Chain A
Amino acid sequence: MRFLHTADWQIGMKAAHAGQAAAQVREERLASARRVVEAAREASAEFIVVAGDTFEDNGVERVLIQRVADILASFGGPVYIIPGNHDPFVPGSVWEHPAWKAAANVHVLVSEEPVEVPGGLLFPCPLREVHADRDPTAWVRVAGQTGIKIGLAHGSVEGIVLEEPDYPIPRDAAERAGLDYVALGHWHSTGTYPDGDGAVRLAYSGTHEQTKFGERDSGNALVVDISGPGAPPDVRPVRVGRLNWLIEEAELREAGDLVRLRSQVEAIPEPAATLVEVRLRGVLSADDEPELRHLEDILAARFLLGRLDASALVPSPADDVWLASLPAGVIRLAAERLRDMAQSAGPKAIPAPEVISRALLELYALSKEAAR
């Protein structure tokens, strides 16, 4: 038996954190879904299992349901889906959409009863509410059943720290239930749980496309081979995600640091599929100000999302060069005053150090503008 295990597509998810790239981030999740189907085909998977949270919410726009159903239908072979805690099987849920009936190869499993799949039996554990403390696999009884038996569930494997620790699933759920493999959804990172013999019978495929900054080991699907009942599954991750979510943190200490950072940023591959957030701290020299603008421009122009956080930067106390470039008298004295204020201001000072630094940069920019 060979099948592809995927989960947590979270189609229609919020992407406010992606700023103006939010729509593209959402669209990319559909593109990744197509790559999942393509990967299944390439792996000659006999069927696909989707372990919940296909959609971010039951209230997503209906056209998304149709698009997802079309993508899954394009696989040709059987596809088995269970509702997860984000898209539970409730009245008005996405699963009532007629698209599922139209896609003959796509089976939305809403009952806790075994289903015959190519090469064995599938024990679905669909969810009917957003939060619950019950083990969704608890109902599974394989006594008297022959062939390869796999489970399809959505929940939190005990011991994993998750933001939404609903539906606890024991680490030995597969052994307890007598299943050869349990395909899990809910955790966005790919994760496998070998049993005492080293066989992986419990695994999270993780989300097929990374959802935010700081999320690790996501953007995969799992191709699972099981040679026969009781045989250890062969679990192989396949990369299907495309977006890179990068955080570049740098501390500026001297005049050339910013130039070096800019070079690093420019070297990031596939900027059009990359969301990058550059966080700066340390001191800013006057000569770096154009470089800072340049970096800002590069981030805005080249990347799917480029963000620059320079709020922790303060003007360099030792840098008198740009002060000297300002007209003598009131303006230069004011600049010196601002620099001193920025250096001495505490985090709760009024005006905030960030405002003072920005005032200094504005003065610098205006002086350049006035000079032209």
Chain B
Amino acid sequence: MILRSIQVEGWRCFANPMKVGPFAEGLNILHAPNAQGKSTLFEALRRGFTDGHRVSGGGVEALRPWGRALPPTVVIEFAHGGIDYRLTKRFLDPLAKLERLEGTRYVALATGDEADEQVRSILACAPPGKGLAKVQHWGLAQILWAPQGELALEGLSSDAAAGVRASLGAQISSPDTDRLEERIEQAYLEIFTPGGKPRAGQNAAAPVVRLQAELATATQRLQGARSRQQEFEKATRRVENLCAMQKQAANDAEELRKVLEATRSQAQQYGDLVAQKELQEQRLRTAKAVFEGVERRLKAIKDARRDLAAVREEMAGRRRDLPLIVSEVEQREREAAAAEQVIEDLRKVRPRITKLENEAYAARELTSARQTAASLDERLKAVSELNAGLSALKRERAAVMAPDSDSMQAIRQAIKERDDARVRLDASLMTVEIVPAKALSVEVVAGERAGTTTIEPGRPFEVKGSPEVVLDIPSVGRLRARGPAGSGAGARRQRDAATEKLNRLTAPFGTTEANALEALQERARDLDQLIKEQRARLETWLTSEDEETLAGKRTAAQGLIERVLEEYPDWRAELPDPAALHAAAEETKQQFINQIEPAEAKWKSAQAALVDVGKKKAATEASLGDIEKRVIVLDGKLSELASDGKTDEQREAELTDAAIAARAAEGLAVETGGKLATFGDDPRQTVATLERQLAETQKAATDALRQAVHEEGQLQHISAQGPYSALVMAEEEVARLEDGLQRESLKAEAIKVLREVVQTVRNEVVEAVAAPVAKAASRMLQRVAGTSLGEVRVGETFEPVQVAPELAGGPVAIGQLSGGEKEQIHLVTRLALADVLAKDERHLVVFDDILTFTDAGRLARVLKLLEEAAQRLQVLVLTCHPERYRGLSSALFIDLLQCEEATAAA
């Protein structure tokens, strides 16, 4: 399709008629500044071909010029298949008219919907639904026409893709193929969801799913039927078992009854023998008791008589011993009294020993006090002398005023600051030096030292000052020297401040000279050291005591001396010998000890013997009392034993009779026991056991019978339901459903396989078809961008998806490339597709404001491609940068503004 001209009216910015054309069949550059209506014209072209004229709604309302109720109208003159047409389409006041040029005039070809349809068929457009056409309705224009900012080719609609494929000569699509593929898809979707799962849902379930559900239900029923059948069979066995049990129990009970009868007879005999034996044993026990009673009495009488004789003999012995023990007690008392008297006599020496010990102690005290007093006198004297020396040193130190270390450091710092300030002041001052040839009087008007000075000839005279030095030299004039303002004043202030600080710090010491101050500090340090040494010596004599304490101690020692001498006045004349006095006291004391210790031992021995014999006497007296009591008791017991009035001989005869009776009773009991032993276990217990067994067995038989009756009832109930027949029906239902499911599964699988194979083949064919497009696009891309991006790969609907740079080692998605590369790839793909479509007829290609990211070098190569493409295609480029295309010598440049003026003029 070739565009001849386009005219719009009532369309956005074009309220009035606006015609552009005629266009060249090759390359056209339609240019205008921004917002002049280039894209609007392009839109009118698209809507004219793709939208139905009856379309309404907000989208089409927006086409009207602002504030105007004009119906948007477009008139397109174009050629297709060698015939020229004119399409007139008006929206919102619907009109569609397709005319064909015959000779020099247009003849109506179709109107209304038919016109819409015929125009759409030229670009293989699908009719839009409700509302304006979208990209997918553009047909081949999707490839051929790129609106502003939409150069990217996102994948063609099926119509457009089919058009490309058809042009490539591939028989992928045909009405028959499409119908069949559609039918296959339909058959697939009747069974499966698009995701490949069997279709479920109450009304639209796939037969397989429905059958599976029915089969699940039927299987459940089958399991129930099997259960019931098993229940029936189990019930049958239970009843059989219970009947067998009941029968067995009845037989067992009969057997038990017989055994019980025989055992009861034995039990009767056994009971009689047991009673007889018990009577015999009772008699035996009685005879034994009589024998034992007589035997005990005889033995007790004999024992009592023997004990009584022994006790009486012991009592006589005690009575003989008692007077001897009393005599011994009296002797021991006398010996103890004599030993005590000896001790009392010896203790009378004790006061003399005490006197001697006191005298020796006083002598020791006196000697010690005298020594202490002498020592204290020496220490007091040394302390007094040292204190006098220390006082003299302190006085001398107090007279020396010297700075301490911190003060000295501060003074040094102040001196340094002052000196630094002086240096800076000197450096900042203007210096004027005069060396007069003759004597000269100079008045310093401004300078460090103002005033008049007379200078001798040949002698240099310097005047410093800041910021100027002014000198008046009579008969010569005023001499003024200036320097930089301000620097001297600051230095001076710093110097004065430093001097003042130094004066303040050194004021207590009377000098500002560092050496003098350091000498003072040295002297003070020496004195401090002497004082320290003197104090150390004093501390040595005092030994952590003060002088007053020492004096107190001296007084106490003298007091002690006086007290001793007062008690022993003889010692004033001659001092005692403490050691001799102590030895004399000790000797006297030792003599006393040597005498009193044996005396005390003897007394203790006598005293112990006295205690022992006293105890012996008391024990003998107590024993005699006890023996007398035992005699009384034994006498009573013997009288009681003999109270039966029998003689010993009579008692012996009674004992013999009892022994004979016991032996007779024992023999009878043994004989009866032998008879009982022949029975083995006690048959009476066996009877009880058998009775319990019989009762249990009868109960078991009854229970089994009752249970069997109950189970039979259950069995009848189950069998009445015909569980096997129900099982048969359920199994047949399951088999039928399984058969159906197998058939439907086979069909479903077959449809699935069919669809998969068709899709696989289709993809393979599409890939083969897409190869030439990719190849052509790759060739063009390499011309624009070189070989670095490699080949372009296109998808099933011909959209570029990847490039394959050799260096990347694998394909790279288009999205990962730069903006310029992306638009170049989409452009070359569009051109490649357009080339395919242009095989039979020249087509219009429109690019609205493209290549905004492409650099100048590549743009030049792209333009070359466009020029070449224009040999096969009609190319229309809409741009606001016509200068970028000026290199295209074959292009027709159309100025939109001129067109507007021309239209208005027309």
Contact = CB atoms under 8 A, between A and B. Distances in A.
Interface in A348-372: 351, 354-356, 358-363, 366-367, 369-371
Interface string A26-67: 100000000000000000000000000000111111111000
Interface stretch (B44-52, B311-319, B384-392, B754-762): B754-762
B497 to A, nearest CB: 106
B735 A16 contact: yes
A218 B141 CA distance: 79
B236 interface: yes
A316 interface: no
B736 A356 contact: no
Contact of B720 (A62, A327, A333, A338): A62
B750 to A, nearest CB: 4
B732 A92 contact: no
A329 B765 contact: yes
B188 to A, nearest CB: 10
B672 interface: no
Interface stretch (A7-15, A133-141, A197-205, A265-273): A7-15
B219 interface: no
Given A58-B724, A328-B171, A338 B236 contact: no
Interface string B705-745: 00000011001101111111111100110111001000000
Nearest to A20: B736
A362 B720 contact: no
Interface string B807-847: 00000000000000000000000000000000000000000
B753 A355 contact: yes
A242 to B, nearest CB: 20
A127 B375 CA distance: 145
Nearest to A367: B180
B757 A327 contact: no
B627 interface: no
B170 to A, nearest CB: 8
A17 to B, nearest CB: 8
Contacts of A96: 716
Contact of A14 (B171, B712, B731, B749): B731
A90 interface: yes
B751 A333 contact: no
B229 A59 contact: yes
A337 B177 contact: no
B750 A362 contact: yes
A56 B235 CA distance: 18
B761 A59 contact: no
Nearest to B753: A359
Contact of A351 (B183, B240, B724, B749): B749
Contact of B171 (A15, A329, A354): A329
A19 interface: yes
B458 to A, nearest CB: 128
B175 to A, nearest CB: 9
Contacts of B618: none
Contacts of A370: 176, 179-180, 182-183
A369 B240 CA distance: 65
B239 A59 contact: no
B173 interface: yes
A47 B535 CA distance: 160
B659 interface: no
B184 interface: yes
A59 B722 contact: yes
A57 B183 CA distance: 51
A64 B725 CA distance: 10
Interface string B765-788: 100000000000000000000000
Contacts of B749: 351, 355, 358-359
Interface string B232-243: 110111011001
B205 interface: no
Given A327-B176, A359-B751, A92 B719 contact: yes
A362 B751 contact: yes
A113 to B, nearest CB: 19
Nearest to A94: B719
Interface string A252-272: 000000000000000000000
Nearest to B184: A366
B731 A91 contact: no
A331 interface: yes
A61 to B, nearest CB: 3
A62 B181 contact: no
Contact of A19 (B735, B746, B751): B735
25 contacts: A14-B728, A16-B735, A58-B724, A59-B718, A60-B722, A61-B725, A90-B237, A90-B240, A91-B235, A91-B240, A92-B232, A92-B718, A96-B716, A329-B173, A329-B765, A330-B172, A330-B177, A330-B758, A331-B177, A331-B180, A331-B181, A333-B761, A355-B753, A370-B176, A371-B176
Given A330-B762, A370-B182, 9 more contacts: A61-B722, A90-B237, A91-B711, A329-B765, A333-B761, A341-B757, A355-B750, A362-B751, A370-B179
Ordered nearest first, which 7 A-B pairs have the shortest CB separation? A61-B722, A59-B724, A91-B239, A16-B735, A358-B750, A327-B176, A329-B171
